[in-house]
Copies of this chain bind each other. A is one copy, B any other.
Amino acid sequence: MTKTNNAPLSVRNCITSRNHSLVKRIRSLHRREERDRQRKYYIEGMRFVAQAIEASTHIEALVYAPDLIEHPFARHLIKQQQKAGTPCFALADEVMHSIALNDDSQGIGAVVGQRWERLRDINPQHHLCWIVVQTVQSPGNLGTMLRTSEAVGGAGVILLDNYIDVYDPATVRATMAAMFRQRFVRTTLPQLLTWKEQYGCKLVGTSPAASHDYRTVEYSCPTLLFMGGERKGLSQKYQDACDALVKLPMVGRADSLNLAVATGVMLYEIFHQRRKTVR
């Protein structure tokens, strides 16, 4: 087994031009409008490719630079995918560099399909919670929120309107591959409100002006946790739509928390209350 994995990878038909159609297409996926249009995105690194495969994400094309691969596990992944019939393409080092999102691509990447679900197909009662967001400025914050959601058993994220791209490379990276197991829905506020009524879920928002401390509220399962953007928090319109508003206490001159941290503190409180019930 180890012998097989360490055998050199075939370099037949190695793509040596940066202008090859696949290479150009991957570079086009660095831009949101192309990701939206093609409903695909590009991931890189061993951990991401391995976890995408494990989560049965559709791999449209796997690319690798044989000379840049150092880890036997990456070679194993490629051979496994070749056997499984996934289209696999060897790239010259400089071609691989031309599509890299980061310095640590480890010589392996993949074009994968975006996954979107429709709100009406979802029964929220199967999960601890969903995160709801309308505006998040920092893609890294959004990815970190998804990583924490995965850690506590949250289902995923409900995006209101069309501002946020969960497939932004910086978001994907910050999820540390948790994103392949999180679920994504795009909807509007009126649709969300109708759906939550149907299932009797509570929409809980956070605001520094809320009168309830986040620790004094009972979070029913499933909770829809509505987090506002970094700069302005939840606007009045969204606060009005919530069934409950809670605040994270702060002392001294502090007036706000990092969005991913605030979300993490909230998610761990919701998670903790549920664990108590289950015990």
Contacts and interface: CB of A to CB of B under 8 A. Distances in A.
Interface of A: 140, 144, 147-148, 150-153, 174, 176, 178, 181, 215, 248-254, 256-258, 260-262, 264-265, 268, 271-272, 275
Contacts of A174: 258
Contacts of A264: 257-258, 261-262, 264-265
Contacts of A140: 140
B215 A254 contact: no
B257 A260 contact: no
B147 A251 contact: no
Nearest to A176: B256
Contact of A249 (B144, B253, B275): B275
6 tightest A-B CB contacts, nearest first: A261-B264, A151-B254, A151-B250, A153-B251, A144-B258, A265-B268
Contact of A260 (B248, B260, B272): B260
A181 B147 CA distance: 30
A261 B144 contact: yes
Contacts of A250: 151-152
Contacts of A178: 254
Nearest to A149: B254
Contacts of A152: 250-251
A275 B249 CA distance: 10
Contacts of A251: 151-153
A187 B6 CA distance: 45
Contacts of A261: 144, 147-148, 260-261, 264
A204 to B, nearest CB: 17
B150 A254 contact: yes
A194 to B, nearest CB: 30
